[in-house]
């Protein structure tokens, strides 16, 4: 399970954006249960996303399917990075920088 901060200004409609971006990035309709949205796509047996504390982050839990081809893994990884970019408002480079600064504190 991993928690990702969301850029200021993108937190207002976070709950609805989670579902919409899952559909846009993965092409799968998420199921919702208790505020957690779930899909299964490509190399991911399970991708659960929910709003974090204070609606300022998203909490993502994944389970991988290890019996898929390398092409499927690469495609799923690309879709997941694009999803994180869209939902958090931070690029991969910015997320890494923020994670490193959080560890140093």
Residue 75 lies in a domain: yes
Q: Are 88 and 6 in contact (CB under 8 A)?
A: yes
* Domain housing 34: 2-97
More confident: 4 or 100: 4
Per-residue pLDDT, averaged over 77-84, amounts to: 94
Residue 14 sits in a domain whose CATH number is: 3.30.310.190
Residue 82 lies in a domain: yes
Residue 37 lies in a domain: yes
Q: Residue 102 — very low, low, confident or very high, per pLDDT cuts 50/70/90?
A: low
Closest CA to 32 of 18, 11, 53: 18
pLDDT in tens, 45-61: 999 999 998 888 999 99
pLDDT in tens, 13-47: 888 899 999 999 999 899 999 999 999 999 999 99
Q: Residue 105 — very low, low, confident or very high, per pLDDT cuts 50/70/90?
A: low
Tell me the H-state helices in the chain.
Answer: 14-26, 70-88, 92-104
Residue 103 lies in a domain: no
Please state, in angstroms and rounded to a whole number, the distance separating the CA atoms of residues 89 and 38: 21
Residue 38 lies in a domain: yes
Report percent pLDDT > 90 for the chain.
62
Q: Residue 104 — very low, low, confident or very high, per pLDDT cuts 50/70/90?
A: low
Tokens 């998203």 correspond to 58
Spatial neighbors of 43 by CB under 8 A, at least 6 apart, are 64, 65, 68, 72, 73, 76, 77
């Amino acid at each position: 399970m991993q928690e990702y901060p969301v850029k200021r200004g993108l937190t207002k409609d976070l709950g609805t954006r989670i579902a919409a971006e899952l559909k846009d990035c993965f092409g799968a309709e998420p199921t919702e249960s208790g505020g957690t949205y779930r899909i299964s796509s490509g190399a991911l047996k399970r991708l659960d996303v929910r709003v974090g504390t204070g609606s300022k982050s998203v909490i993502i839990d994944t389970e991988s399917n290890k019996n898929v081809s390398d092409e499927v893994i690469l495609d799923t990884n690309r879709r997941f990075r694009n999803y994180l970019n869209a939902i958090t408002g931070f690029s991969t480079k910015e997320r890494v920088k923020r994670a490193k600064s959080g560890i140093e504190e």
